[in-house]
Amino acid sequence: MGNGPSVLEASITTHSPIGIQNERNTSVVEFHDVHKLFTSKEKTTVALKGVTFTVNKGDIFGVIGFSGAGKSTLLRTVNLLERPTSGKVIVGGKDVTKLSVAELRNTKKDIGMIFQQFHLLETKTVFENVSMPLLLSQTPKKQIQDRVFELLSFVGLTEKAKHYPDQLSGGQKQRVGIARALATNPSILLCDEATSALDPETTASILQLLKRVNKEYNITILMITHEMNVIKEVCNRVAVMSQGEVIELGNVLDVFANPQTETARNFVKSVVPDNIPPGVFRILEANRGKSRIFKIQFIGEGSGQPMISQVAKRFKCDANVLFGNITELQGIPFGNLIVELQGSEPEISRAYQFMLQQNAIVKEIL
């Protein structure tokens, strides 16, 4: 493993995407041993089994899991759309399960929520949809008008104010959903599979918008998704859920670099594949004995490709990239390369030793 982990830590502190250093330990949402049982006549289903973690101010926190993992239930305990069977959910310092009906209603104005299916009022215009949360709290008309137009300009839908939801595309509907969720100026935004109904291009633009929400309005985001790509694009922290439990928790870079569980590994693979493609295998079989194959996993700059060109320069061997996958996590390159070294045995061994000393994880695979 070499000195991989220390590089990781350094990268995270210097590349923190949202500049949260000053307030990084202010918790916004805390789950303490949250359990949820659904009881029906036939059977009892356990949806959450002792979930504990903290979302800090400024986080874009992603919860990932397959359907049925309990992530949707977990998200709904924050604004008590689902009441936990036991455990505490602390939002802004207060345990929401202990709030009175009126207090809870006030707390909800501090928690925006967007949905996979948008849930806009079909009979209301975009303007009326966005103004709804403000109408509910008896905001003066002039104030509503100003706020709604500010939000519509933020999400880029000023011209659509008088349109109805069925005249909008999916991406535009979600923008309305976001504007509506921000109307009461919340400090937390809950995203329930917000991009799962959208095509990849629209997903990317909605994710960019969520990043802006986080930065410009300083709103902490808690999102659930089954797409690792979403986590990769916007989150700084991630929890992996399976069967009602958090099985892995940490900074996104850590989880991507070093997934501990099979589920997490599979999610990481869905975005950063590291399987050797069958075509490459055929070449390997043909060249068996003539060369050695290495897998290089690298994080951060100054590793990966520069290392390979150095290997080729310093040692009498040819470096041949068979397969590669490079992506960016919070602006930091991250990926896998499968490299074939051809040459005399001693030279390859020396090159291998050299690679092991660099800032990357190198493994011989054949």
Number of chain positions touching another protein (CB under 8 A)? 25
- Among residues 157 and 188, whose Cβ is nearest to another protein? 188
- Among residues 126 and 249, whose Cβ is nearest to another protein? 126
Q: Is 106 in the site for another protein (CB under 8 A)?
A: yes
CB of 302 to another protein, least distance (A): 46
Q: Is 356 in the site for another protein (CB under 8 A)?
A: no
CB of 201 to another protein, least distance (A): 25
Contact pattern for another protein over residues 144 through 183, marking x by CB under 8 A: --------------------x-------------------
CB of 214 to another protein, least distance (A): 19
CA distances from 322 to 202, 247, 285, 306, 317 (A): 32, 34, 13, 16, 15
Q: Which residues of 48-70 are buried (b: 16+ CB within 10 A; e: fewer)?
A: beebebbbbbbbbbbbbbeeebb
CB of 172 to another protein, least distance (A): 17
Distance CA 145, CA 94 (A): 32
- Among residues 128 and 274, whose Cβ is nearest to another protein? 128
Q: Is 109 in the site for another protein (CB under 8 A)?
A: yes
Q: Pick the piece of the chain touching another protein (CB under 8 A) from 51-59, 61-69, 100-108, 326-334.
A: 100-108
Cβ 42 vs Cβ 262: under 8 Å: no
Q: What kind and span of H or E run contains 317? A: strand 317-329
Q: Helix H segments across the chain?
A: 4-15, 71-78, 101-108, 126-136, 141-155, 170-182, 200-216, 228-234, 252-257, 262-271, 278-286, 305-314, 345-356
Q: Is 105 in the site for another protein (CB under 8 A)?
A: yes
Q: What angle do CA 115, 117, 123 make, to 5 degrees?
A: 105
CB of 104 to another protein, least distance (A): 8
Q: Find the distance separating the first CA and the last CA of the chain, reported in whole Å.
A: 18
Chain residues 176-215 in contact with another protein, contact rule CB under 8 A: 184, 190
Binds another protein by CB under 8 A, chosen from 108, 173, 175, 237: 108
Q: Is 143 in the site for another protein (CB under 8 A)?
A: no
Residue closest to 264 by CA, chosen among 246, 283, 281: 246
Distance CA 26, CA 187 (A): 13
Half-sphere exposure of 77 (CA within 13 A, CB side): 29
Q: Give strand pairing partners of 224.
A: 63, 192
Residue closest to 358 by CA, chosen among 320, 275, 301: 301
Binds another protein by CB under 8 A, chosen from 3, 6, 137, 153: 137
CB of 127 to another protein, least distance (A): 15
- Among residues 106 and 208, whose Cβ is nearest to another protein? 106
Residue closest to 16 by CA, chosen among 208, 222, 236: 236
Contact pattern for another protein over residues 271 through 300, marking x by CB under 8 A: ------------------------------
Contact pattern for another protein over residues 111 through 130, marking x by CB under 8 A: x-x-x-x-x-xxxx------
Distance CA 60, CA 251 (A): 11
Q: Is 42 in the site for another protein (CB under 8 A)?
A: no
**Which residues of this chain interact with another protein, rule CB under 8 A?**
79, 81, 104-109, 111, 113, 115, 117, 119, 121-124, 132-133, 135-137, 164, 184, 190
